[in-house]
A and B are shown apart, each in its own frame.
Chain A
Amino acid sequence: MAVTAITPSGAIPARHRVVARRRIAQSAVVGLLLTATLLAVALLVTILAYVIIRGLPAINLAFFTERPRPFGEVGGGIAPALIGTVILAAASGAIAIPVGIAAAIFVVEYRSGRFAAPVRFAAELIAGLPSIVIGVFVWAFLVRGLVGHFSAIAGAVALAVIMVPIVARTVEEVLKLVPNSLREAALALGAPRWKVILSIVLPTARAGVLTAAILALARSAGETAPLLLTALGNDFFSTDLLRPIGALPLQIYRYAVSPYDDWHAKAWGASLVLVVVIGAVGLLLRVVARQRVR
């Protein structure tokens, strides 16, 4: 800042006034920006606070072990939806994780090949599709087509379609981190390309691949729209992949739009469970990622 002598008359020189005005402008803008930031953070805190405060009273042992009671009766739990979510996660993971890893290998390890570009492009486009569109597709393909009715397997396929691009994109980044010298060393020893990938590249990237899988599972656990058109929901215990199955998000939706207070309370409880599971996974991944960087 230029040091200007105060004129004998005591008036502040024009140059100072300009600087002051610019300073004030800066403070005003920073104040606005800070307000925007606080607003965004406050939204998160508010939503989480509501989920916790309204969700906690609904949580008890029966909530996790019993099946829903018919409306009018108070009590019961959401156990079938919990089991359904676990089964859907296992089945969709079994489909999406290998496919996503394979897609990533195509893109990274066979970069010059004919398939790499279309695979990557298609994965990006699928990632951008509204999930309800994927639900319509799986409905036409499985619910009306191969299976013939609403079923857990259709729900799992719909979730898998959503997960594949997430797994592929994350694994791609991880595979890129594997040093090329490792690949070259193995190739120089005469190992064929597939063997290099299976026994050198993938084991090296193991932790990252695992992260990708968990991330995709966490993202798909909250999906509702495609399940409405595929898994449908089920208030009874079911482990049959060919029958309709419940899921946490479906249960929340049904309870939230119902007119019963007890069901509303259960919707909050189920939301709390969902948010805690997804949040725990997210935090865990972050901690693991940070440790690996060190």
Chain B
Amino acid sequence: MLVPLTLVAIAVLILIDSWPSLTAFGFSYFTTTEWDPVKLVFGAAAYVYGTLVTTIVAVLLATPIAVGAAIYLTEFAPRAVRAPAAFTIELLAYIPSIVYGLWAIFVMVPVMRSVVEPGLQASVGQLPVIGKLFSGTPIGLDLLSGGVVLAIMILPILTAISREVLLAVPPTQREAMIGLGATRWEAVSRAVLPYARPGIIGGAVLGVARAFGETMAVTMVVGNSSRDISGSLFVPGYTMASAIANQFVEADSELYFSAIVEVALVLLLVGIIVNSVARVLIRRSIADRPAGAVI
């Protein structure tokens, strides 16, 4: 009984603490970017934007790699390689977030700054519309780096779930297609993947749930300074979780504190919604196997 009570207590305490901010700013909290502890005006739009951008970057990068690896490891890899390789990728999930952050600051960010970001700027950055995403000075500590770290961090769970879902596809699906003279890839793309699609989408949604609440590694590379919405990936930003981590302890007035707790309230609500959606999708694909129990 302690478990549901804890959940209720979490929701109630966070709601109470964010009440002053809720009543003071109402909906403008989500539409304005001004976050000024001196004037006591708080709008979290820039944090929401940062979270959305890093999460989208993460999912766009991680999903093709994870699904590709899962397909290879269930359908094409030599049998002896399958389990060890899958286990190796799942090991990524055991590395603590803080270690990803450390690695990202000292290894990934310099590479992003000197190689990846100038490279992107010189190539896709020249295109008319998308180019705007890659404008500005490549500094490494920005929204793109935040997204890349998140992509690495959600890779194992996405791979694990996609693999579970693919393993749960009945062999008859493949056999029927191959019996008709299809190549293995034709069987996979036309008979296996459509069957597994809801589960794979569910895995991606669960990846979203992981990514938007992840704090430490993102906080360490996302820049934590600019509060404007510029449309470029090469600007330092804030995510909702990093805003809490950075400012929670320094909040010195009641309204400031309350505004930060409201960020936590948003994370709480989105977390509950996204996780529920993901679980429904995955359950539909995997009969009675526990989703995420792999990790």
- Residues of A whose CB lies within 8 Å of any CB of B are 22-23, 25-26, 29-30, 32-37, 39-41, 43-44, 46-48, 50-51, 54, 99, 102-103, 106, 115, 118-119, 121-137, 139-141, 161, 164-165, 168-170, 173, 218, 221-225, 228-229, 249, 252-253, 256-257, 264, 267-268, 271, 274-275, 278-279, 282, 286
Contacts and interface: CB of A to CB of B under 8 A. Distances in A.
B92 interface: yes
Contacts of A135: 244, 248
Interface string B72-104: 110011000000010111011011111111110
30 contacts: A22-B183, A25-B185, A34-B76, A36-B65, A47-B95, A47-B100, A47-B103, A47-B152, A48-B95, A103-B3, A119-B3, A122-B6, A126-B3, A127-B275, A128-B209, A129-B10, A130-B271, A133-B10, A136-B17, A136-B244, A137-B13, A137-B14, A161-B10, A222-B95, A223-B96, A224-B98, A225-B97, A252-B99, A267-B102, A275-B95
B9 A173 contact: no
Interface in B240-284: 241, 244-245, 248-249, 261, 264, 267-268, 271-272, 274-276, 279
Contacts of A169: 290, 293
Contacts, number: 228
B3 A164 contact: yes
B68 interface: yes
Given A23-B183, A30-B72, A228-B249, A130 B214 contact: yes
B38 interface: no
Contact of B105 (A40, A126, A256, A279): A256
B290 A133 contact: no
A229 B64 CA distance: 36
B190 interface: no
Contacts of A229: 248-249
Interface of B: 1-4, 6-7, 9-10, 13-14, 17, 64-69, 71-73, 76-77, 85, 87-89, 91-92, 94-103, 105-107, 152, 155, 159, 183-186, 189, 209, 212-216, 220, 241, 244-245, 248-249, 261, 264, 267-268, 271-272, 274-276, 279, 290, 292-293
Contacts of A279: 91, 94
Contacts of B275: 124-125, 127-128
Summarize A's interface: helix, strand, loop or mixed: helix
Contact of B268 (A54, A103, A133, A222): A133
B216 A225 contact: yes
B192 to A, nearest CB: 13
Contacts of B64: 36
B275 to A, nearest CB: 3
A274 B267 contact: no
B155 A115 contact: no
Contact of A132 (B13, B99, B244): B244
A252 B102 contact: yes
Residue among A44, A253, A274 facing the most chain B CB atoms (10 A cut-off): A44
Contact of A41 (B85, B245, B249): B85
Contact of B1 (A25, A119, A252): A119
B220 A256 contact: yes
A123 B272 CA distance: 11
Contact of A228 (B88, B95, B212, B245): B245
B267 A253 contact: no
Contact of B13 (A43, A124, A141, A278): A141
A244 to B, nearest CB: 12
Given A137-B14, A229-B248, 14 more contacts: A25-B185, A33-B68, A34-B76, A44-B91, A48-B95, A50-B106, A121-B4, A128-B271, A130-B212, A130-B214, A140-B14, A140-B261, A256-B220, A267-B102
A102 B99 CA distance: 33
Given A44-B91, A137-B10, A164-B3, A256 B102 contact: yes
A168 B1 CA distance: 12
Contacts of B85: 37, 41
Residue among B10, B67, B77 facing the most chain A CB atoms (10 A cut-off): B10
A115 B1 contact: yes
Contact of B245 (A32, A35, A132, A165): A132
A252 B279 CA distance: 34
B14 A133 contact: yes
Contact of A133 (B6, B97, B271): B271
Nearest to B89: A40
Contacts of A127: 275, 292
Given A99-B3, A168-B3, A33 B71 contact: yes
